Structure 1
Amino acid sequence: MDEVRKNNEENLSMDEIFESMDDFSMRRGSVKEAEVYSLQPDGLLVLFDGKLDGFVPESELVHPLKEYKIGDKIKVTILKVNEEEGRSTASEIRVFRRDALKTVENKFKNNETIQGKIVAKVSSGYNVRLLNVIDAFLPGSHSGLRIDDEIPEESLDFKIIAFRRSRRGAPRIVVSLKELKEQRIKAYFDSIKEGYMITGTVESIKKFGAFVKLTNDITGLIPASEVSWDSSVRIEDVLKLGDKIEAKVIGIDREKRKISLSLKQLQKDPWDDIEERFPVGTVHNGKVKSIVPFGFFVALENGIEGLVHISEVFWGNTRKKLQEVVKVGDEVLVKVKDIDRKKRTISLSYREALGDPWDDIESRYNVGKVVEGTVVKVLPTGVIIELEEYVSGFVPLSEVSWNFVDKIEDVVKEGDTVSVQVISLDKENRRMRLSLKKATEDPWKRVAEELKVGDYVSGTITRTIKSGAIVLVDDYNVEAFLPVSQVSDKKVENIEDAINPGLKQNFKIIRLVYEPENDSRNMVVSIRQYLKDIEKRETEEALKELSSEDTSTLSLGDKLKEHLEKEDTSE
């Protein structure tokens, strides 16, 4: 192109150039159409009807220099003509400004919007460039921007709120973003109703809900409760920043300019036909969602949760904690007890789904039967034995052992597996009495068969009490009572001064009772009587021995005295 221009210049004389300029009216102020044929660092080189060139400085262009390309047609006005070089300096912006100013004025008269760009921030507002060439002012109160907001880089639509021509200088033009925004907001709110489906983009997610950008001016809120019918579903599980979504309008506050949206209402409410899908009395499988002090919640399906109250967990007065029965995430069977569709609540029963173990209790635990169980609680008054889940019985203190029990913990401990005999059953009140001792053979039966009052037995003092001592009788594993009065032929004030636990001793049975029908079994023994019997026997033997000796000149009393003296000497 430059070569063409060079050849043209060489072939044209100065007269021909002026003649050509006259032909094309190349005068200052004339408006011409030009073709871009070269982009220079500081402007454009253009051709006028392909014959003469001109230069449009960058400052006189309507658009940034980089937006032009070779071959573009633009309208310019001639600023000056360099007759020696045959080149003109032209301006695009001055032609465009006249047309643009007319456009701005018409937009103002017709109450239409116009495009522009904020170019600078000033003390009371912002300078705006309309259509790239017309300067206007945007008051801060009409900008909708906060003091620390950055100036938008993109082109915006403005409303012209003042247009006044001046005889001198440029016209005064005032624009507003706020009024245009108010119009757009009003128009949007007028266009929607509750129940409408609208689209938007998720722009932020909070614990209480998700904000959705509906337009550049309007944001709606999806409350956390409106994300899913399943209350356990979190917002983050459903929505992500930048998601394009469709939602249902469920609330409009035109005064506060708030729009409430719902995702879950795009789907059928699972509570609509709840009674048909989960009739009262039916058993269903569910998942434990949470455990609370008063029970636990079970999800029957997405959006449907019911409460198993603690009263519907256990059969009877069970001391277990809920966490010992179920854990979050467990699959459980539950029975529907009641449904309140208005309140959206379901009452469930865990125990009834399992069945009442006391319904056929007699067939499994008839009186007299010996069964195994686990010691779950040791009390001062007895022992609680669990035979199976929700079936427990009580062993009274008197039924713990055939012997005297000072501390139950010495006989059984929590966690022990033991055999017990069922001694009574009250199905109506869900009570069962058990016996630890009767699950074993009664040792007193053998005692009654083999021993009688007056017999001698050996045993060990196991402990002392205020009124006497307890003796464990050898070979029979029963305990006998040694009264303090039977410890010695001398008066005993404090039994611990006379005997100590662990002492091995022979005793005489002075009382023996075996009445199983009255549940009466006891033995009373005596050291004192035993020693008297020994002393008497020894005396009788001594007398017998003396009476056989040939000492007729002595009396029986003298013989006995002589015998005793001999024994003392020998000792």
Structure 2
Amino acid sequence: MMENDYRYQDEGSEDFAALLEEDMRQREESGRIVQATVVQKNDTEILLDINEKVEGVVQRSEFTDDEFERLQIGDTFEVFNTGRREDNGFIRASKQKADQRRGWDDIVAGHEAGEVFQGTIIDTVNRGFTVDINGVRAFLPLSQVDLRQVRDNSEEMRSYIGLTDTFKVINLSPKRHNVVVSRRAWLEEQKEKDKQVLVEKLAKNSILPGVVKNITEYGVFVDLGGLDGLLHITDISWGRVSHPSAVFSEGQEIEVMVLDYNPDTERVSLGYKQKTEDPWDKITERYVGGDVVKGRVVSFVDYGAFVEIEPGIEGLIHISEMSWTSRVRSPSQMLKIDDEVEVRILDIDSGNRRLSLSLRAVRPNPWDVVGEKYPVGSIVKGKIKNITEFGAFLGLDEGVDGLIHISDMSWSRSNHPSEIIKVGDEVEAKVLAFDRERERLSLGLKQLEENPWDLVEQRYPIDSLVRGAVVNLTDFGAFVKLDDGVEGLLHVSEISHDRIERPSDVLSIGQEIEAKVIKMNKEDRRIGLSMKDMEGLAEFQEHQEAQQESTDSTDEGDSQPE
């Protein structure tokens, strides 16, 4: 028994041998291969001259339809003479067995010579495949069909049926006519040969063709034909790459540059962007500060947006450079990914590969004309856009907002701007001041009305009696509203001759009271009131009224006739 130099054991090989046992036994029976000539043919059989006293017969089923149609009387081919007589007296012959005998002999001789064989995968069996090699059925274990693992009983396994390729014999048993082959062994040998050829080409900066084999978050593995190389994400493009899959797809054929090769670890570092010149090298020859360029928004960060003005060149629009007037909190308020925009270059730092851009700089600054359009003292009109604790912002044309401070909303005291106006209210206001450097426009509402303090001395002279409602209570006194925009302070010491700890002990918000004006400071807008002197004032008024009544009575008596 002849043994192989390369023996292979697989769980399915014995099963396959058992399946072929019956068929192979017939090969060991007496018989020989002879030359046969076609004498006659019908729909089921072909009659042959096999140089015997009687003709031989071969079944039509041993031929394909095309072979049978082309077969003519007088054609010759080899058959296996079994020596058995059919019922009709003819000798049974087989073309397939002759092919198998010739094929088997070729396999044995070729294997001894170290040759490989062309074959076709024709079917699947338990844990493997059946391969037709020169008419001989060989077993191909599942683990030997490819370089990568193939699952048993899978659709992927069935996809190999019909594949014609090169196979290497790894186990041969002439006694049982059993042969085991491997496609993987052949592929590995070819890969090793390809690798040796490839290694000679792995010079630094050399350009090689490859196929994208696998894509990860950090890069792309490229099959160079014998070795895999890593193309890191940072070496894909001079510009920003969000993910390698945005540039490449598996199976894509590309050209890459060898950046480094370590023969000890067989690691190959590849570059893709290095095939072209770094666009940052001569950027100052193409652009200068102040240039207006077009670009595409490629990504957002918290503090701005990156715009690609050419492949590999990206610049940052900081959120402070997006609008002259709006308070931009996020770049998505102003832009969208893939927006085509026009920007102005503010600064170029080629050493640090930084480009500062401005979106607002390509548009007129509305604050340049605010002073002329809205001079101090003029009346403006707009809608309330926002309310804060210190005031409200009034929206004007060109996106300019003016601030109405809470102190300029009303001549009366107010705790919060929302007590006076609401968001969306359309109001008129007076321009009080304009600061171009700080881009501030100050407005006022109360300035559109007459200042009630201008006439306060005439309306509320010292010692005059006034009426009003309590609008605020503090530890030191009560504020009394006398008129719109005019309040007087009733100090706790002026409420009563009796000692009072807290004004809230005797007064309440909204309560109507009478008091006497005891102090007046127009400049500081202060009026002092007193209630404890109301008793003497009442006695004086009663005395005045009594005198008036007496005078009236005398006048009536003098008018009567004598």
Same fold per TM (> 0.5)?
yes
Distance 2:408 2:59 in 1: 116
Amino acid at match of 1:195: I
Match of 2:189 in 1: 183
Task: Give how far 1:335 is off.
Answer: 2.7
Call closer, same or farther: CA 1:75–1:344 in 2, change over 3 Å. farther
Task: Give how far 1:158 is off.
Answer: 1.9
Match of 1:511 in 2: 519
Call closer, same or farther: CA 1:58–1:210 in 2, change over 3 Å. farther
Task: Give how far 1:301 is off.
Answer: 6.6
Distance 2:495 2:49 in 1: 144
Say yes or no: does 1:32 pair with 2:35: yes
Please give the residue correspondences for 1:394-543 in structure 2 after superposition, counting only pairs within 5 Å.
Answer: 398-413=407-422, 416=425, 418-430=427-439, 434-448=443-457, 451-474=460-483, 477-488=485-496, 492-515=500-523, 520-529=524-533, 532-543=536-547
Distance 1:363 1:36 in 2: 116
Task: Give how far 1:360 is off.
Answer: 5.2
CA contact (8 A) 1:39 1:69 kept: no
Q: Runs of 5+ in structure 2 lacking a partner?
A: 1-30, 555-562
Distance 1:524 1:39 in 2: 137
Distance 1:68 1:228 in 2: 62
Distance 1:111 1:294 in 2: 69
Structure 1 residue corresponding to 2:388, chosen from 364, 373, 378 = 378
Amino acid at match of 2:68: K
Task: Give how far 1:260 is off.
Answer: 9.3
Q: Normalising to structure 1: TM-score of the pair?
A: 0.65
Say yes or no: does 1:54 pair with 2:53: no
Distance 2:551 2:130 in 1: 152
Call closer, same or farther: CA 1:335–1:47 in 2, change over 3 Å. farther
Instruction: Provide Cα deviations, 1:187-211, integer angstroms capped at 9, x if missing partner.
Output: 545368753456x7x9998878889
Task: Give how far 1:351 is off.
Answer: 3.7
CA contact (8 A) 1:38 1:70 kept: no
Say yes or no: does 1:310 pair with 2:313: no
Is the partner of 2:361 in helix, strand or coil?
A: helix
Distance 1:391 1:37 in 2: 106
CA contact (8 A) 1:375 1:383 kept: no
Distance 2:510 2:140 in 1: 109
Q: Runs of 5+ in structure 1 lacking a partner?
A: 1-27, 551-571
RMSD of equivalent CA atoms: 5.4
Task: Give how far 1:409 is off.
Answer: 3.7
Task: Give how far 1:402 is off.
Answer: 1.8
Distance 2:38 2:272 in 1: 57
Distance 2:96 2:127 in 1: 28
Please give the residue correspondences for 1:74-85 in structure 2 after superposition, counting only pairs within 5 Å.
Answer: 74-80=77-83
Call closer, same or farther: CA 1:496–1:85 in 2, change over 3 Å. closer
Task: Give how far 1:180 is off.
Answer: 1.9
Is the partner of 2:305 in helix, strand or coil?
A: strand
Is the partner of 2:412 in helix, strand or coil?
A: coil
CA contact (8 A) 1:247 1:266 kept: no
Task: Give how far 1:394 is off.
Answer: 5.5
CA contact (8 A) 1:227 1:235 kept: no
Match of 2:559 in 1: none
CA contact (8 A) 2:99 2:134 kept: no
CA contact (8 A) 2:409 2:444 kept: yes
Task: Give how far 1:125 is off.
Answer: 8.7
CA contact (8 A) 2:347 2:356 kept: yes
Task: Give how far 1:78 is off.
Answer: 3.8
Task: Give how far 1:157 is off.
Answer: 1.3
Match of 1:116 in 2: 119
Amino acid at match of 2:358: S
Match of 2:23 in 1: none
Call closer, same or farther: CA 1:131–1:473 in 2, change over 3 Å. same
Tell me whether 204-213 or 408-417 shows the greater mean CA deviation. Answer: 204-213
Distance 2:114 2:273 in 1: 42
Distance 1:290 1:482 in 2: 64
Task: Give how far 1:114 is off.
Answer: 1.6
Distance 2:32 2:381 in 1: 118
Distance 1:449 1:549 in 2: 34
Call closer, same or farther: CA 1:256–1:509 in 2, change over 3 Å. same
Is the partner of 1:502 in helix, strand or coil?
A: coil
Task: Give how far 1:442 is off.
Answer: 1.7
Task: Give how far 1:496 is off.
Answer: 3.3
CA contact (8 A) 2:118 2:164 kept: yes
Task: Give how far 1:310 is off.
Answer: 3.3
Please give the residue correspondences for 1:63-462 in structure 2 after superposition, counting only pairs within 5 Å.
Answer: 68-72=67-71, 73=75, 74-80=77-83, 87-93=90-96, 95-96=98-99, 99-100=102-103, 103-104=106-107, 107-108=110-111, 111-117=114-120, 129-133=132-136, 144=146, 146=149, 148-149=151-152, 150=157, 152-153=160-161, 154-160=163-169, 175-189=181-195, 190=197, 195-197=207-209, 231=241, 235=245, 246-250=253-257, 279-286=288-295, 288-298=297-307, 300=309, 305-313=314-322, 318=327, 320-326=329-335, 332-339=341-348, 346-359=355-368, 362-364=371-373, 366-372=375-381, 374=384, 376-379=386-389, 382-383=390-391, 385=393, 387=395, 398-413=407-422, 416=425, 418-430=427-439, 434-448=443-457, 451-462=460-471
Distance 2:535 2:305 in 1: 71
Distance 2:440 2:460 in 1: 38
Distance 1:209 1:47 in 2: 69
Call closer, same or farther: CA 1:460–1:29 in 2, change over 3 Å. closer
Using the aligned pairs only, state the percent identity.
29
Is the partner of 1:501 in helix, strand or coil?
A: coil
Match of 2:9 in 1: none
Instruction: Provide Cα deviations, 1:360-404, integer angstroms capped at 9, x if missing partner.
Output: 55435554445456363422xx22535558855655554443223
Call closer, same or farther: CA 1:275–1:56 in 2, change over 3 Å. farther
Instruction: Provide Cα deviations, 1:253-299, integer angstroms capped at 9, x if missing partner.
Output: 89999999999999999878766666543334555555432323445
Amino acid at match of 2:165: L
Tell me whether 28-37 or 264-273 shows the greater mean CA deviation. Answer: 264-273
CA contact (8 A) 1:249 1:260 kept: no
Tell me whether 456-465 or 111-120 shows the greater mean CA deviation. Answer: 111-120
Amino acid at match of 1:92: K
Distance 1:207 1:479 in 2: 71
Distance 2:371 2:460 in 1: 39
Tell me whether 265-274 or 112-121 shows the greater mean CA deviation. Answer: 265-274
Is the partner of 2:450 in helix, strand or coil?
A: coil
Task: Give how far 1:491 is off.
Answer: 5.2
Is the partner of 1:80 in helix, strand or coil?
A: strand
Call closer, same or farther: CA 1:265–1:536 in 2, change over 3 Å. same
Call closer, same or farther: CA 1:139–1:395 in 2, change over 3 Å. closer
Call closer, same or farther: CA 1:321–1:206 in 2, change over 3 Å. closer
Call closer, same or farther: CA 1:319–1:297 in 2, change over 3 Å. closer
CA contact (8 A) 1:288 1:299 kept: yes
Distance 1:188 1:46 in 2: 50
Tell me whether 403-412 or 137-146 shows the greater mean CA deviation. Answer: 137-146
Distance 1:205 1:511 in 2: 87
Call closer, same or farther: CA 1:362–1:310 in 2, change over 3 Å. same
Amino acid at match of 2:487: E
